[in-house]
Structure 1
Amino acid sequence: MTTPATTPPRDPGSSEATERQLRLAVAQGAAYRKALDHMAQDVADAGGTQQAGDYLVGYAIEKAEGMYHLEDGELVWHNPGAANAHVEVVVCDGADGRFVPGLNVSATLVTPGGQELGPFPQELVWHPMLYHYARNWELPEDGEYTLRVHVDPPTFMRHDEINGRRFAAPVDVEFAGVRIERGAEPVDPPS
């Protein structure tokens, strides 16, 4: 379950954006948050969010999924194989709620028996509804896991002399009691 939507304090000043432009950014974030809440509450088997530094970090756990990968200039479908869980991580701007792209995100799962799996990189996934960082995992058992997420500071440029001074420190978030039931959804894509 996700935490209620909040508007964290931020410097309202901007050297580059007008108040209208800042309101438009917040509206983008609100729309993204609706999609995130739908994914975490209605679609995924488990999900949640947590404020962390300049970010709002969220997760969703689903059955392992097939994906297209670009290989030698061609899209090639890969079913999940032995993977049995799909871990999705979302990183939003804590001030306006918009998705933050271009991050190095890694995740570690701690099994119900205490075994640490990872950390493994979570790759950017284009999704028709919700950009996120994800990967398929091969887990040894069903049960309550602990999910640890690490986000490195991005290397992208930041516009705005006032509001651009963000996303400079790494963050670590821990979600305890993440209920995971293993499974996979292999499919044959349309020809």
Structure 2
Amino acid sequence: MDAGIAAVCGALAGSVATIGAALATGWSQREGARIAARAEHVRQRREPRYATYKELIAATDEMRTTFRPFGQGGLGEIPPMNLSLVTSDVLNAANEHGERVKRAWLDTQLAGPRQVSVVATHIQDCATTIRAMVISLRAANELVSGGHQLPPGSHMEELWRLLSVAVRDLSKLLGDFTRAAQSALDHNGAEDA
């Protein structure tokens, strides 16, 4: 091969190598930027979710702690009905905790993902049940305290049982929600979480 063709081939090889290197560098930079953008997106989603989940966990735990005496019986037993435990302070606590859980539940519904929202909805339903049972039992307590008898068919024992079961369910749901929230926060964002 003569020197002219060798020079052209060398220049051509150098040009191809330079173009290849430029393409590889461009691809690498785009890939790096994509990874950085994805990491920032995951961080921006994780931080608000963390605060939202933390609030629902705190609100649920406070409600669970406040109403623990209504759910404690021996090995799966319902504690004996005691309407005198359902004071106006307990009613106020049910309303306050119920509202706080509801606000946190609404935020959790927006923060997602679906598996966390589903458990949060179960918590909200349970908190609503506790609140409704306390309202009914408080009304019965006021009747009895006022010297009246409960009307026939008032089903206070059944309401007491529902309250006890809801308080126990709230404890289980809090654990379920915490695990679902941890999973959502640990998610790397490769799929839509």
Normalization by structure 2: what TM-score?
A: 0.26
Q: Which structure has the larger Rg?
A: 2
| Larger relative contact order (CA 8 Å, sep ≥ 6) | 2
More strand by share: 1
More helix by share: 2
Query: TM-score, normalized by length of structure 1?
Result: 0.26
